[in-house]
Amino acid sequence: MSNDINDIAENETRIGGYNRLRVIREVEFGVYLDGVDLVDILLPRRYVPAGCKLDDELDVFVYVDSEDRLVATTDKPRAQVGECASLKVVEVNDVGAFLDWGLPKDLLVPYSEQFKRMEVGKLYTVYVYCDEETGRIAASSKLSKYLPESADDLQPQQAVSLLVSAKTELGYKAVIDNRYLGMIFNSDILQPLQPGQKLRGFVKAVREDGKIDLCLHLQNQTTRDELADKIIKHLQENNNVSTLTDKSTPEDIFRQYRVSKSSYKKSIGNLFRQKKIVIKPDCIALVV
């Protein structure tokens, strides 16, 4: 059984995914849906829409309940198989950690799939997968086991959806479109980030080894020119001197210019090469 829902044929029911299934019989406690290549699947009475009748097709999520039976629901979990989400731990026992993913049965993260031991009440970014042998849905915080950290089909400046997964000394790791892992470096961070945060971003660069650098804002010639003008104006208004250098903190640079440290460093570098400013250890100064 494939973990990638995109690889599943149309005539297969996706365990851990959304399906359109046909009502084949009604019972006191719900209705049964045609499981196609699987057994018939119960949709409990509380999820059956009003006016539902035989042969209706319903959009449902299929998973394995606490008694290891296939069951359908119209509830929408926070992630399906093949996706990542940041979820809170609600219980830890001898089997592993259990996460609240929006369904009655909590989502198991076995100890063997924990990057570090999980604690009750904390949020963790996990990848949701379906065990090929048992059909049970589980999750893993070992993201690099399921998501490659290099890509050959991404282009610089390409817009992507990001899920911030972890803080490192260099910046923040992020899940890209539920497909890859990339890095937002500290010098490209404009605002405080938190693991679990979802945001729009861009591919800054794909390095020679395929590793993916990310940024949250694109710089084009117009924005570069605007930043250069702001730096010149700021210098002119402050006796031609500024203590904001390439050694200043990202927070101080953002407070003044609303740009990343990386963008600021590039801009003052260009101004230096144009001989419009000089760069000193503790300040930059306008050439007059």
Which segment of 84-93, 229-238, 242-251 scores lowest on mean pLDDT?
Answer: 242-251
- pLDDT at 10 exceeding the cut of 80: no
CA 154 vs. chain centroid, Å, equals: 16
User: How much is the mean pLDDT over the chain?
Assistant: 91
pTM confidence score:
0.76
The confidence band for 4, taking pLDDT boundaries of 50, 70 and 90, is very low
Whether residue 130 sits in one domain with residue 100: yes
Share of the chain above pLDDT 90, in %: 75
Final residue in a domain of this structure, among 145, 161, 190: 145
Confirm whether 23 is domain-assigned: yes
CATH number for 278: 1.10.10.10
Is 279 found in the same domain as 259?
Answer: yes
- The reply to whether 155 and 137 lie within a common domain is no
Asked whether residue 272 is domain-assigned, the answer is: yes
CATH number, domain of 53, equals 2.40.50.140
Q: How many domains does the chain have?
A: 4
Rg (CA), the chain: 26
| Residue span of the structural domain in which 108 resides | 84-145
Torsion of CA 206, 142, 63, 131, to 10 degrees: 100
